[in-house]
Each structure stands twice: as C-alpha cells, then as structure tokens.
Chain A
Amino acid sequence: MDSSPLILILASIVLASTPLIIAVCGEILTERSGIVNLSLDGTMLMSAMTGFVIAFETDNVWMGFLAAAGVGAFFAFIVAFGSIRLRQSQFAIGFVLTLLGDDLSAFLGQNYTRIPGPVVNHYAIPILKDIPIVGPILFNQNAIVYFAYILVFVTWFWMFRTQPGLRLRSAGDRPEAGFARGVGINFQRYLYTILGGALVGIAGASYSLNIKIGWSEGLTRGFGWIALAIVIFGGWSPIRGMFGALLFGATKALATYLQRTFPEVSVVAFNAIPWVLMILVLLLVGSDFTERVLTIAPKSLRRPLQRLLKISPPQALGSTFVED
C-alpha cells in the first residue's frame, strides 16, 4: 500500500511544494500589511546558499535554517526601511535586491558548490502515518513539511481570527482608519515585512537542505517569482495559497511524467509549461477576466462562483503611509 506509485508521486509533490507554501505564507503576511517584497527570488537564493553553508560548517541543519531566516529578515528590512523611511519605490528596491541576491549568492557560495551536506531527517509521525492513503502522503515526511502545514493554519488563524491579525490587515487595507484607531501602521509594516522575509529565508533554505540538497549557482532561480504569482492566485489567503503551491507542484510533476512518455517532444516545451501556466493562472484568477466570463453564467450560480474566484488585493498595497 505504502509503495504504490501514485502515492509515492503524491508524497513527492507535497514535499516539493513545501518551500513554496512557506514562502507564500511569508509574502502574504508582508503584502497584507501593505508592502510588496519583490526581492523574493534574490532572497531565496541568498538564504538557500547561507542555509547550506552554515549547516555544512556547523553540521547542524537547524543552525542553517536560523541563519537563512536571518538573511531573509535582513533583505526584508532593507525593503521596509527603503519604502517606509526613505519613501522609495518598493518595486525598485525589491528588484535591485533580486539582482544583488542572485549575484552575491553565486559569488559567496562558489567554494561550496556541488558538495554533499547535512539534510533534514525523515520523521514519520506515529499513528497518523498509519492512516490509509492520507498517512503515507502527508505524515510520512519530515519536520519542515509538518512546519509548513502548521504555518498555513497559524497564519490563517492569526490574520483572520485574532486582534493582532486585524491590526495587520488594517495596515494593508485601510491604513488611515487603522491609524485613527491607534494602530502604529508603519510598525506593523516593519514587523510583518521582516517576519515574512524570515519565512522566505526558511523557504530558501528548505530547498538547499531538504529538496535540491546542496548548493549550486541559481539553485532556486525562478521559484521566488512563482511564489509571488501564487500569492495573487491564492487571493492573499494562506489556505488558498497552499492549494496554489500544491497545484503548481502537481503540474511540474505532470510535465516530468509527460516528458518521459513523449520523448520525441523537445524538453524545452515542458520547461516552458509552468511559466505559460502561471500567466494563464494570473489571467484567470488575478484579474478582471473572470468577472467578464461570469456575466454569462446563470444568476443563481454567479454569486457562489464569484465568492470562489473573485479576489482583490489589500487596498493600500504598495502605497506609503505618512503618520502625522
């Protein structure tokens, strides 16, 4: 039962999606507070490199994750400081940091490429792992995967069911109203940008310590942008974001499978599939396209479909707030 190929494939999809799930949760926290951290791609490369190097030197994966979270938090702090204090364009800062992270990780990690290092230990949860089908897929993994599940739930609960979460959302949705009610808008933005950045850092390290074990130049290149797209796909909700990440993982697995089945089709076509798919996803979910299509749906169906598909970003996303 455990080793049926379908279950193995599903388990590998869950494993491969965890870094994206963690990064998406981090970026959702950041964007819900009203700041776009565009530097995800560079941050993940830097933290993947740092995480591996530190874990290699200390021979302790958790030190690696800690260092990676620190790097992520530092990059996020630059974005927050630049946009709040210096009032520069968040996009410009994030973009420059993306380029910087890419180059810097390639240079600083050049002595550590393609060597084996420590990995996160496999740990099956007792009892839960014996549940048929679900058990081997979800609970026969390792600590980082379990951390991702818990994170999704905690992020959702924190944002939508607690007072601090309300303050966080007020900073991104109605900063003036929140400020009038005594919320320190810019404090919230600093806090959640840095926290989100630390999570992105952990996501980067979970590539180099858990999935594509080891470090090589450009190890995680592209995944940061995918995570940013999934945030939109997920409608700034961690639970939907998680499904987005799993869906992306599934299409990648499908592409690999199709590639083996149809070897005569060029590899390039399959490499391009995820990107084309992401554009289509942005078109379908993150845009007005759905609205247009829904007008032809029967009236009784329109409401629930709209609830399901329609999403709107935090209203003050990307704008600066001046406290005075």
Chain B
Amino acid sequence: MQAFFIRHPKVWRAFDILLPFLATLAALGVGAVMLMAFDANPVVAYGALLEGAFGSTNAIADTLVKATPLLLVALGICIAFRGGVINIGGEGQLVLGALASTLVGLTFPDMPGYLIIPLALFVGFLAGGFWGAIPGFLKAYFNVNEILSTIMMNAIAVQGMNYLLKEPMIDPVQLEAASRIPQTARLSAAFDLPRLVPTRLHLGTALAIIAAILVFIFLWRTVVGYRIRAVGMNASASRYAGINVPRNIVLALALSGAFCGLAGAIQVFGLHHRMFTDGSATGFTGSAGFNGIVVALFGQLHPLGAIPASFLFGALIVGANKLQRVMQVPASFIIALNGLVVVFVVSADYWRRRMARRREAEVVSEELISSEAEVPT
C-alpha cells in the first residue's frame, strides 16, 4: 500500500481529503454497536438519520439552514487559527452581530428591504468584528491570553443581551402582556432574506458559501491574508520581514469575530426574524459559536474544507433529532455520537500525519537509491 501511494501521489492526496469522512463512517460504525446495546436496529436507526437529514426537500433545506451559521463561524475560526490566535468567543460575537443587526431592523421599519438587509448584515459584521477586536487588541499589545479573554467576552455579551432584551429592546406586545418573554418584536416582513425554494432555506446559505470562497481568496491570494498567515506561522520571522505583528493579530481576531457576527445577523434576518434569549447564549445561538470550532478543525482549518464539514455537521444535528424521535434512544447517544465523530477525526489526522512522514522518508530514500545508481563506476 505504501509503494502504491508513493507511485500515485494524486491518489494519496485524494485519500487525505477523504480521510475525515472515512473517520466519520468509522465513528458511525462504533455508534451502530452502541445502538445494538440499546436494542435498536442500527440499519433502521441510520436510515432515520439519513431520512431526517436528506429524506425530503424540507430535510435537505433544514440541513443547509443548520449548516449556514456553522460555516460562517468556522470561517472566522479558520482566519484566527491561521493568524496564530485561538478564538473561543464565537458565541459572544454571534450574539453581538445579531443584536446590532436587529437594532438596525427595528430602527428603520419603513425603509425598503434592499437597503436595510445589506446595511444590517454589514452592521452585524462590524459589531462581531468589534467584539473580536477587543481581545485581539489586548493580546497584541499587552499579551493577554486570548482564550480566556474571549470566554469572558462571551459572558459579558450574554449579560448585555439579557439586559437589552428584557428592558429597552423588548417587544411592546410582551411589555403589555404580563408574560414579558424577553424577545424583540418581529422585524418587518420586508426584511426577510429571500427564500430560495419554498422551504426554510434562505439566501444566507448562498452568502455563506460565497463568503467561504472569498475567505479562501483573501487568505491565499492577497497580501493582507499572506501577512496574517505569516504571523501565524512564525511571528518573529514576520517581524524581521517588516510585518507589523500586533496589527495583524488584531486584524485576525477582528475578522474572525466579524464572520461570527455575520452569522448572527443572518440567523436573525434569514431564520428567526427577531432576537430572543433564554438567559444563556445557547438559546439563540444553538451553540453554533462553539460547534463552528469543531467544524473548522474538521475542515482542516481550510475555508473550502469548512463547506463540506459544516454540511456534514448540519446533517448530523438535523438527522440525529429525527433518529432520537423515531428510535426513542436517549439523548446521550446523540451527544456520544457527535463526540465519537470528533475523536475519530482527530485520531485520523494523527494517523495521516504519521503516514505522510513515512511516505516522505521513503520518497527520499528511493531518490537516494536512484541517484546512487546514476553515479558512474
């Protein structure tokens, strides 16, 4: 097998790309054993999962809708990781983006949609970027640990959201009714993102895919993106090459936050059409800010890799709900299944790297042998 891979480098490249999916299949295989322990038929169960995720136009649309925020957050995470910083503040940045864009929608209820939608999405983008730039600034100029500061920023954003939705931004209807559910009024229907087919699928999904391509071009085909990656690979070498390291760290985290903010804005304008809270971040975000990190790792921190990765995770989330309803397996199984997928993908990555090292060693030795053969005797 080794020799085959060495002779066909293209095959091994394809194999490398397919590896996360093979690992997912292996994880589902282990999941099948667990299902049998619950006395459930794994074929029927996975049938339900597939049907829930892809069984009808509506199912596919739901999968894509779930995948959209995951993809946008994963893009942000890719930029941060490539810039050598870790952004765990996706939840907070998503909330900030959603809040700011909702505010735009509520402030100008009578303006036409073609003006307000782009403006609101842009404001959401900026708000998320602002929330990401703060830990970026602290990291770049004062060396404050960004993992911890982004987590703290999440908590602050959630408290701010709870306050705004309970007091100044609350739906006037809720204010009159005694229930006082903390949510805003529904945004004007003119601001709904266009639906693509008669399902819940909205334009946001297409925007997210375009964003992925743009991020790829930005990181690998522009000078600014090159600088961010250079700082991420080797900060001291970049400094000697004349790159302003602190500025690029701020930029990486700000852009990272901006894409999370955009995800929040698109959730509001494409899906919920209002902002609401259950007291924690998860109520509105559905943990997209955290799951996006897993998606980014799954897509090997590549913006284009994040597209299929987010699709797969969206399918897993949507399909798993169906599986749980049909088979009556405990919710822990779904959590365990997600965990298994992550563990398998991570270990597969380890195996891939070991294989790559061994292949390189063999290529070198084969070249050595052939070059020795050419030496005249």
Contact = CB atoms under 8 A, between A and B. Distances in A.
A and B part of one assembly: yes
Interface of A: 38, 82, 86-88, 91-93, 95-96, 99-100, 103-104, 107-108, 218, 222, 225, 228-229, 232, 266, 268-269, 271-272, 275-276, 278-279, 282-283, 286-289
A272 B159 contact: yes
B217 interface: no
Given A92-B297, A279-B144, A286-B144, 19 more contacts: A86-B350, A87-B350, A91-B86, A92-B346, A96-B339, A96-B342, A100-B339, A104-B332, A107-B330, A218-B280, A225-B152, A229-B148, A268-B159, A268-B162, A276-B156, A279-B153, A282-B148, A282-B149, A286-B143
A99 B346 CA distance: 16
A180 to B, nearest CB: 25
Contacts of B99: none
Contacts of A95: 88, 293
A249 B329 CA distance: 42
B364 interface: no
For the complex of A and B, the 4 pairs showing the least CB-CB separation, nearest first, are A268-B163, A287-B142, A272-B159, A289-B142
B365 interface: no
Contacts, number: 89
Contacts of A93: 346
Interface residues of B, number: 38
Nearest to A104: B335
A30 to B, nearest CB: 15
A283 B86 contact: no
B138 interface: yes
18 contacts: A88-B349, A93-B346, A95-B88, A100-B339, A104-B332, A104-B335, A222-B155, A268-B163, A269-B163, A275-B152, A275-B156, A276-B152, A278-B148, A283-B138, A286-B145, A287-B143, A287-B144, A288-B143
Contacts of B350: 86-88
A225 to B, nearest CB: 5
Given A95-B293, A103-B335, A283-B138, A82 B148 contact: no
Nearest to A41: B151
Nearest to B159: A272
Contacts of A269: 163
A225 B148 contact: yes
Nearest to A99: B290
Q: Which of A269, A282, A289 has the most CB of B within 10 A?
A: A282
B332 A287 contact: no
Interface string B125-165: 00000000000001001111101110111011001101100
Interface of B: 86, 88, 138, 141-145, 147-149, 151-153, 155-156, 159-160, 162-163, 166-167, 280, 287, 290, 293-294, 297, 330-332, 335, 339, 342, 346-347, 349-350
A229 B152 contact: yes
Q: Which of B159, B280, B350 has the most CB of A within 10 A?
A: B159
Contacts of A275: 152, 155-156, 159
A183 to B, nearest CB: 26
Nearest to A272: B159
Nearest to B162: A268
A99 B292 CA distance: 12
Contacts of B280: 218
B86 A228 contact: no
B335 A107 contact: yes
A73 B367 CA distance: 48
Nearest to A274: B155
Nearest to A100: B339
Given A99-B290, A104-B332, A287-B143, A88 B346 contact: yes
Contacts of B346: 82, 86, 88, 92-93
Contact of A100 (B88, B160, B287, B335): B335
A88 B345 CA distance: 11
Contacts of A289: 142, 144
Nearest to B291: A99
Contacts of A99: 287, 290, 294
Contacts of A103: 335
Given A268-B160, A268-B163, A286-B144, A107 B152 contact: no
A91 B152 CA distance: 17
Contacts of A283: 138, 142, 144
Nearest to A108: B332
A255 to B, nearest CB: 12
Contacts of B145: 232, 282, 286
Nearest to A224: B151
A86 B350 CA distance: 6
A225 B147 CA distance: 10
A288 B140 CA distance: 10
A268 B156 CA distance: 9
A70 B113 CA distance: 57
A229 B163 CA distance: 25
Contact of B148 (A92, A104, A232): A232
B20 to A, nearest CB: 14
A86 B347 contact: yes
A283 B151 CA distance: 14
Contacts of B143: 286-288
Contacts of A91: 86, 147
Contacts of A87: 350
